[in-house]
Structure 1
Amino acid sequence: MEPADWQQVQGIYQEGIDTGNATFEASAPDWEHFDRSRLPGHRHVAASADGTVVGWAAVSPVSARPVYAGVVEHSVYVASSARGLGIGEALLQALIESTENEGIWTIQASVFPENEASLKLHLSTGFTIVGRRQRIARMTHGPLKGQWRDTLLIERRSPGI
């Protein structure tokens, strides 16, 4: 992912946010915030033949403590026009490869239980459901504004690290 990709990445991010089942975030951040909060070596985009970005994946550290240096939280988003084409799987595989190559042993995320497509994708690429966090936070936007939501904590542990 390059800064020049940001406008398209941000659009895909916002499209996911607008579904109400991708994140608690109310809006996609600006590039500066995104750039500061995501590890540079693990930002991936998928593009169509004409160069249009159709999906992205990135990771953030879960803690500044050195003992957690091998644990990251990830996001993966695919444009609605490109869903069901294997883009999410390709992005997750690229993310798994880049993180393992740098000694990262755990990729984790929180997924809304209602996001069945995301759960299916993650389970098919080696992630497991670790647990359910009940009423972990309230929605601040959209049709579910004010509602408490559960999330499923998922993770993929590297078999080689």
Structure 2
Amino acid sequence: MADITVRPMAADDAERVRAICQAGLDDGDASFETTAPTWAAFDASRLSDHRLVAVAGDGTVLGWIAVSPTSTRAVYAGVVEHSVYVDPVARGRGVARLLLDALIGSTETAGIWTIQSGVFPENVASLALHERAGFRVVGVRERVGRHHGRWRDVVLLERRSPVIN
């Protein structure tokens, strides 16, 4: 991982971010979505201060992480939902953990006290990653939505910051 760095996501990363997202969606266990959003939709729905990319030594974007607000209500200003995607060729190299650790630092610096996510139970790698990063299972939403014609459960995960009181 010494050759991998994390930096803020830029508009110039849009094509790679979308391609990595689409690869995850194509695998079938990343999201209910089936098509990666346009850059305009992505940009409008994610908080700009907490969008990061992992980059190889040659400048290739290997993965990304970003957060969305969970609510417009002021009481939930410190709660965000995140997504993390890694290029299939870079999986198993610690890219997602590097991104998640950087996101935790970024959000805690900004006073965000909870990061949450919903993960399909079949995505065991993501569940293990989140557990190692201090997330806990809050519960399982059973048959919460249909995906490719079948009902899917979603495991709700959250990480409550130990430093934001």
Q: TM-score, normalised by structure 1?
A: 0.96
2:36 paired with 1:28: yes
Q: 2:146 aligns with which of 115, 119, 138?
A: 138
Structure 1 unaligned spans of 5+: 140-144
| 1:1-161 superposed matches below 5 A | 1-139=9-147, 145-161=148-164
Identity over aligned residues, as a percent?
60
String of CA shifts for 1:38-60, please: whole Å, max 9, x gaps. Answer: 00000000011110100000000
CA RMSD of aligned residues (A): 0.5
Give the count of matched residue pairs: 156
Q: Measure, in 1, the Cα distance between the counterparts of 2:40 and 2:152.
A: 29
AA at the equivalent of 2:157: I
Q: Displacement, 1:160?
A: 1.0
Q: TM-score, normalised by structure 2?
A: 0.94
Structure 2 unaligned spans of 5+: 1-8
- Match of 1:14, SS state, is helix
- Match of 2:59, SS state, is coil
AA at the equivalent of 1:154: L
Q: Displacement, 1:146?
A: 1.1
Q: Measure, in 1, the Cα distance between the counterparts of 2:37 and 2:84.
A: 15
